[in-house]
Homo-oligomer: A and B are copies of this chain.
């Protein structure tokens, strides 16, 4: 893994310097900036396909053959061309979490039966709308949901989102705890599971799926712990073993954000699934968001200022955390790369956004080749949870998006 710790740990076939100029997805980044302006997000269609394909290959290799389904967590990125491209691969369905999302997926070519729906705290209007999407796979996140969905249509198959009371987020990040020691709002716990089964029976609903989502951003070092969580979840699966056909293991597959992150070993990951589910007669669903789109997307920015403040050199750019908030809000750094590498001694800089808020920092204290006003700067790993969570804070919400072939 020594390569992944190098300063160029992010480098890959479709993202690298050629004669000092950064290239992405077959395009020179400076040319993209010149043509389309900044701030602009670019997504690589090929990288999207590669990410999907890599997941499939690992699942196939582990022996799961036709007993799995990959669903894209569209809350990570709902850019219509990107969704349609994923649909076009024929290899992914959709994980949706609101009626608007489900409808947007339909507008991009997906069918109701391609969609797995999981959400918490649904309104009456939400149920009415979902009920129109015949064939959608509903995962009930609460006793209330079983009751209401049952009232609207007896005799259906349902999934149940369970909560194993154990989970993992990225280290040091309490904002990403989905199912840890503290009781969270998600899913049905062991304590209420018998009631869930009884309620399903009351409405003649068949529990055909067990769903869980127990963390996010996990990489190879977390796989052992993740397997421990899977084992906890098997208790629920075995409670309904006569009816369960599908186990949805959620998303959470991470990508490296910094040099010392090791990439997720997909074969080891798929083997965990094979170990526990090959002997059980179930289909596996997995719902990656980050893993499919995060490293397919880059954000191009322009440098407005390079200035020493007291003892620190700040590089001020023309966008803020409101259009790419993972670094500021979730402590997930986006490696910055100058579009052109200048010769000369590297400079220690902090990349700052243009929003008047203290947290609006993209990267603190990093050695980069010298930057000047009007330079183009790239942030990598910006393909997930950037535009989908973007706001118009300070009326600085403008950006463009392009899918590159």
Contact = CB atoms under 8 A, between A and B. Distances in A.
A85 interface: no
Given A163-B309, A178-B358, A185-B352, 18 more contacts: A75-B356, A98-B354, A98-B395, A104-B395, A121-B305, A122-B304, A124-B304, A144-B305, A144-B307, A144-B316, A144-B373, A175-B359, A185-B309, A185-B316, A329-B329, A388-B393, A389-B391, A391-B391
A17 interface: no
Interface string A182-197: 0111111111100000
Contact of A100 (B175, B178, B316, B396): B396
A121 B118 CA distance: 41
Interface string A282-321: 0000000000000000000010111111111010111000
Contact of A183 (B104, B122, B311): B311
A383 B376 CA distance: 37
A374 B169 CA distance: 33
B309 A189 contact: yes
A361 interface: yes
Contacts of A396: 98, 100
A356 B97 contact: yes
A157 interface: no
Interface string A352-374: 11111011110000000000011
A116 interface: no
27 contacts: A75-B356, A75-B394, A98-B354, A101-B395, A120-B356, A121-B305, A121-B353, A122-B305, A122-B354, A142-B307, A142-B309, A142-B316, A144-B307, A144-B316, A163-B309, A176-B359, A185-B316, A185-B352, A185-B361, A186-B356, A186-B358, A189-B310, A190-B310, A191-B310, A192-B308, A388-B393, A390-B392
A298 to B, nearest CB: 20
Interface of A: 75, 78, 97-98, 100-101, 104, 118-124, 142-145, 163, 165, 169, 175-178, 183-192, 213, 302, 304-312, 314, 316-318, 322, 329, 350, 352-356, 358-361, 373-374, 388-396
Given A175-B359, A183-B309, A309-B163, A316 B120 contact: yes
Contacts of A390: 391-392
A213 B302 CA distance: 26
Contacts of A305: 121-122, 142, 144-145
Nearest to A99: B395
Contacts of A183: 309-312
A329 B310 CA distance: 29
Contact of A121 (B121, B142, B318): B318
Most buried by B among A121, A144, A175, A391: A121
Nearest to A390: B391
A206 to B, nearest CB: 22
A358 B170 CA distance: 13
A-B pairs with the 6 shortest C-beta distances? A121-B316, A100-B395, A121-B354, A185-B352, A189-B310, A144-B305
Contacts of A316: 120-121, 142, 144, 185
Nearest to A305: B144
A317 B126 CA distance: 12
A187 to B, nearest CB: 8
A304 B123 contact: yes
Contacts of A213: 356
Given A184-B358, A394-B101, A396-B98, A120 B352 contact: yes
Contact of A358 (B118, B176, B361, B374): B176
A352 B175 CA distance: 14
